[in-house]
């Protein structure tokens, strides 16, 4: 049975987070298994205004939440209507997972679902969230935080990262990588990475890291060093490390290791390649080093991970 994702929209809706979620959870053709279905609902069905300047027609009302496995809250509501709170409370009590983006965070906060929890929030809302719900611990620095039943994200631009993270959690790294490749998503960002970089007080802002990150991802089998990455970026190792810390919240070496582990997980899930071959393909050199790094990152051995994840999200072809 497919996992049902329902986006609850509101007045003057920003469409970007909704379309990003549909891009991840929607139909991807016959080569990728369709394990999710995506739909939209509103407090009152019918025409809904949007920030695009054009209305959209939403056919489903709050009753759609009664069938949802995951609910995306991406509305502009700072004071959620009581019927919305009632419907979301019932869905969560039934076991539905909740994702919040921007002001959507006020719904689980009002329901007490974030009491005592560190909560990702857009920097513009952190003060208001703290004042209205003092038991919530807002964090305006990170991209998203996953508490299992509630996932909070600060900005709309984080939605693809959050959704791919959930696909990876639900069905493994291989399916998340396939969907990410199909929609041409940038390299996945972990939740602890920063919402925005610390910009310099004078002079031009640092060049974007995206081209370098793409190059690293395409060359994981190489024994890359920070100096190699800096040379590719046309800067010094010290400057590159500072840019990674400012923009991503991690060091270049840590980011590289996370990409290697993600690629290794996909190969373990979808191929029968020996551990020694996977170690070489992911740039972790030897099987001993690969096993040590993998266990430290994932909490289990490569063999045990493969045994527990074979077939998750598989289709007729395997990644190259």
**What tens digit of pLDDT does each residue of 88-110 get?**
999 999 999 999 998 899 999 99
So where are the chain's domains? 3-177, 200-309
pLDDT digits (tens, 9 = 90+) for 121-164: 988 888 899 999 999 999 887 888 999 999 999 878 888 889 99
Instruction: Identify the CA nearest to 259 among candidates 232, 293, 291, 235.
Output: 293
Whole-prediction pTM: 0.66
List the end-to-end C-alpha distance of the chain, in Å, as a whole number. 29
The CATH number that domain 3-177 falls under is: 3.40.50.880
The CATH number that domain 200-309 falls under is: 1.10.10.60
CB 206 within 8 A of CB 243: yes
Q: What is the pLDDT of residue 213?
A: 86
Q: What are the φ and ψ backbone dihedral angles of 141, each rounded to 5 degrees? A: -95, -30
Instruction: Identify the CA nearest to 42 among candidates 76, 90, 2.
Output: 76
Contact residues for 242 (Cβ-Cβ < 8 A; gap 6+): none
Number of H helices, E strands in the chain: 13, 10
Instruction: Identify the CA nearest to 269 among candidates 167, 183, 188.
Output: 167
Which stretches in the chain have pLDDT values below 50?
Answer: 191, 193-194, 196-207, 313-320
Angle of helix 210-218 versus helix 226-233 axis, rounded to 10: 130
């Amino acid at each position: 049975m497919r996992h049902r994702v329902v986006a609850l929209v509101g007045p003057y809706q920003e469409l970007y987070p909704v379309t990003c979620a549909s891009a991840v959870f929607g139909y991807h053709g016959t080569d990728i298994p369709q394990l999710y279905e995506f739909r939209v609902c509103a407090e009152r069905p019918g025409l809904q205004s949007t920030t695009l300047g054009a209305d959209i027609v939403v056919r489903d009302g709050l009753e759609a939440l009664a069938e949802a496995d995951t609910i995306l809250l991406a509305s502009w509501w700072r004071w959620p209507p009581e019927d919305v709170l009632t419907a979301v409370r019932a869905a969560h009590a039934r076991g539905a997972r909740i994702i919040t983006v921007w002001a959507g965070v006020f719904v689980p906060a009002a329901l007490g679902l974030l009491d005592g929890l560190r909560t990702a929030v857009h920097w513009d809302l952190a003060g208001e969230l703290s004042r209205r719900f003092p038991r919530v611990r807002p964090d305006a620095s990170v991209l998203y935080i996953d508490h299992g039943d509630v996932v909070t994200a600060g900005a709309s631009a984080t939605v693809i990262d959050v959704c791919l993270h959930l696909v990876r959690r639900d069905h493994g790294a291989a399916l998340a990588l396939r969907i990410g490749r199909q929609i041409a998503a940038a390299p996945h960002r972990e939740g602890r990475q920063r919402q925005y970089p610390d910009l310099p007080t004078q002079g031009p802002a640092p060049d974007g890291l995206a081209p370098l990150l793409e190059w690293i991802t395409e060359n994981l089998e190489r024994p890359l060093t920070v100096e190699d990455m800096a040379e590719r970026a046309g800067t010094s190792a010290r400057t590159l490390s500072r840019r990674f810390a400012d923009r991503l919240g991690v060091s270049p070496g840590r980011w590289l290791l996370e990409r290697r582990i993600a690629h290794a997980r996909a190969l373990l899930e979808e191929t029968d390649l020996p551990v020694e071959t996977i170690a070489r393909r992911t740039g972790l050199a030897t099987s001993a080093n690969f096993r040590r790094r993998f266990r430290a990152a994932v909490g289990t051995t490569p063999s045990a991970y493969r045994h527990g994840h074979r077939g998750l999200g598989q289709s007729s072809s395997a990644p190259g």
